[in-house]
Amino acid sequence: MSSTPLGGEREKLVSKLPASLRQALKVRAAQLQTDVQDAVAAGIQAWRAASEALPSIDTAGAESFGTYLPEGLYDEFKTDCRDRGVSYIQGLAQAVALWLVKSQAPDQPKFVRRIVVCNQKGGVGKTAVSGGVAQALAEEEITDETALETAERAALAGLRVLLVDFDPQGHLSHQLGFTAIPAGQESLITHMLNREQAKQDLIDLTMVVEGERFGGRLRILPAAFEAFLLDSGLTVFRGPRHAALERALMPLEEHVDVVVIDSPPSLGLAMDTALYYTRQREDEKPGNSGLLVPVEAEDTSAQAYGMLIQQIDALMRDFDINIEQLGLVVNKFDSRRGYIATSSRDKWIALGTPPVLAVVLDLKEQREAVRLQKPLLDYAPDSAQAHQMRAIARGLRTS
């Protein structure tokens, strides 16, 4: 529908648009210093001028979207949609995607994305979220060759992802079928504390996580048994101990697009190195790197989250840095647990900042994948949990 504002120069468009496109539109318009309404108008004009049919865009779950168009353009657009046999929602999505392709963002410094999955409370599902999100980021979601030039491909194409099992318990490594590195063998800990003694490049210690959906893009750096002693090792470390993890992982950054770290359930020195690694670097755009915090819909999880916030705030003050919280994940949710579960979930969502990127249900597929030592998105790609991991990944891509 449309309505003419005072002055008659523009009319309001009210339709729907997928969240990923809406966010990409907002970010690109800001980068190019143009108004969203002008960007949408330009996209519709380009869409109307297109001589060939454009690829269909998935608009499932599209949410309300409104802007203003030059007077008369909306009626012309609706007529063209009817003539082309597409819905107004599909036509608008194609128009915005076309504008994104034609309006490239200005060159910016390239930074690998660094995502630390953390919560000092054990049992909230950090490992499941780390693995699932990394798989979703590495997964190739668009397979239709006709869609190769659409803006959505840029947002959804499989990324090169490195999973770092930074928890000495090694649950992530075990769940994906890998063995933790025994004491005395070269590992991430060697490169953090005694890099001069390392005989291999750290990339050579990583392993490919098998799965057709990942195309060799997903790798893991297995846990090391010696990580149990990392905090004590950092207390006597002669270099800048807060930067020990960054110093070790820096050589790997040229090989990957995203680093996802499954952190230990602690608030010690090792956790400080992970938090420091994900800080916003100079000239790095906001939302590129930061923390992903799994929580549960119950009271003790909120208390643990408060303790994590205190540690983050202290580190930011001590080193004059900024550490972003990219989002929360309400994990292992089961509404059958009653009022405590549902009210706690609602409180997490009501926080608003950081946003809840997904509510992950407590279902059997994740446990089955762990038992079989297979990636969730390879074992049960169409499960509700797999789709929720993809929702988190989309939220991270557009943050």
| The residue type at 241 | R
- For the chain, what are the domain ranges? 2-102, 113-397
Whether pLDDT at 145 is above 80:
no
SS3 content of the chain, % helix, strand, coil (to 5): 50, 15, 35
Q: What DSSP string runs through 154-186? A: HHHSPP-EEEEE--TT-HHHHHTT-PPBPTTS-
CA distances from 57 to 17, 65, 67, 368 (A): 10, 16, 20, 33
Q: Which residue shows structure tokens 């309001």?
A: 12
Residue positions counted in the chain: 399
Q: With contact defined as beta carbons under 8 Å apart, do 113 and 257 qualify?
A: yes
Mind listing the pLDDT tens digit for each residue in 154-212? 444 589 999 999 999 999 999 999 999 998 899 999 999 988 888 899 999 999 999 88
User: Sheet of 207-208: strands edge to edge?
Assistant: 207-208, 218-221, 161-165, 258-262, 113-117, 290-295, 325-333, 356-361
**Alpha helix positions (H), 236-363:** 244-249, 269-277, 299-319, 339-351
Measured between alpha carbons, how far is 273 from 152 in angstroms, rounded to an integer? 35
Whether pLDDT at 141 is above 60:
no
Measured between alpha carbons, how far is 166 from 127 in angstroms, rounded to an integer? 10
pLDDT given at position 109: 63
Q: With contact defined as beta carbons under 8 Å apart, do 214 and 158 qualify?
A: yes
Mind listing the pLDDT tens digit for each residue in 355-390? 999 998 888 999 999 999 999 999 999 999 999 999
Chain-wide mean pLDDT for the chain? 87
Which two tokens mark 200? 């291999």
Taking the alpha carbons at both ends of the chain, their separation in whole angstroms is 30
Whether pLDDT at 23 is above 80:
yes
**Alpha helix positions (H), 203-268:** 230-235, 244-249
113-397 CATH choice from 3.40.50.300, 3.30.530.20, 3.40.640.10, 3.20.20.70? 3.40.50.300
Measured between alpha carbons, how far is 391 from 384 in angstroms, rounded to an integer? 11
- Residues in CB range of 235: below 8 A, 6 or more apart: 241, 269
Whether pLDDT at 45 is above 50:
yes
Mind listing the pLDDT tens digit for each residue in 277-289? 999 998 898 999 9
Whether pLDDT at 3 is above 50:
no
* Strand locations in the chain (E): 2-3, 10-17, 63-70, 113-117, 161-165, 207-208, 218-221, 258-262, 290-295, 325-333, 356-361
Measured between alpha carbons, how far is 323 from 276 in angstroms, rounded to an integer? 8
Strand partners, 163: 220, 260
Q: With contact defined as beta carbons under 8 Å apart, do 74 and 13 qualify?
A: yes
3-state secondary structure of 323: coil
Which two tokens mark 342? 């549902």
Mind listing the pLDDT tens digit for each residue in 217-269? 999 999 999 888 898 888 888 778 899 999 999 999 999 999 999 998 888 89
Longest CA pairwise span in the chain (Å): 76
Angle between helix 364-372 and helix 126-138 axes, rounded to 10 deg: 80
Q: With contact defined as beta carbons under 8 Å apart, do 117 and 126 qualify?
A: yes
Mind listing the pLDDT tens digit for each residue in 330-350? 988 877 888 878 888 888 888
